[in-house]
Amino acid sequence: MLTRKQSDLLEFIHRRIKADGVPPSFDEMKDALDLRSKSGIHRLITALEERGFIRRLAHRARALEIIKLPEAMEARLAAEGHAPEPDPKPADMPAEIAAMAMNLPVMGRIAAGVPISAISEISHEIAVPGSMLGQGSHYALEVHGDSMVQAGINDGDVVVIRETGTADNGDIVVALIEDQEATLKRFRRNGKRIALEAANPAYETRIYSDDQVRVQGRLVGLIRSY
């Protein structure tokens, strides 16, 4: 059973995706529900995600997917012509693909420096050796900045990321900060604090509370053009 605010937000997101093809921003959701701060929206989205109504996509901010709607809402929206479309099931990957080159989507640019606006869309595809990937879903990002040079990651490199929401201390991750900005940094957790460390002494380590940072993936490979 959803609360009134949860139901209102779910319907608002659904209608905006149907009308515009993209979810609303957090500011738009806050205004639509007449809330004072975006923290209330974060809590509502988390509740909807935990109940299986929406899914946050790993590779960009403002990326919400409607998984299902309450039966009463779905029936009402269907009568209005807003019924959700079924989600196609991905085909199983043949085992022999592991040894072959695979095309991965390059989801724009990622900051290896000061955080930039989060990744928004697929810019192109790149062939990646299957041996680099292993199990799970992957995507690629073009590096922008020099904060990870001492980890061997240079401006213009393409990093291969395995989608995951967790990381161990020392992993290089794609971190989404306050659902607004994305950055490539080394991950360190100390209790409820998360440090995002650069690999360049010119950049300071940034410290956040654990509710401000969402891991979007872990570095598993790097491609460099000469």
Write down the H helix ranges in the chain.
Answer: 4-20, 26-32, 38-50, 71-80
Q: Between the CA of residue 72 and those of 7, 79, 137, 189, 212, what are the distances in Å?
A: 11, 11, 34, 42, 34
Catalytic residue among 147, 192, 209, 225: 147
Q: Is 192 a catalytic residue?
A: no
Q: Is 79 helix (H, G, I), strand (E, B) or coil?
A: helix
Catalytic residue among 37, 39, 123, 185: 185
Q: Is 165 helix (H, G, I), strand (E, B) or coil?
A: coil
CB 141 within 8 A of CB 184: yes
Closest CA to 60 of 223, 226, 214: 214
Secondary element (H or E) of residue 117: strand 116-117
Residue 127: is it exposed, middle or buried by C-beta count within 10 angstroms (0-12/13-18/19+)?
Answer: exposed
Q: Is 18 a catalytic residue?
A: no
Give the residue numbers marked as catalytic: 147, 185
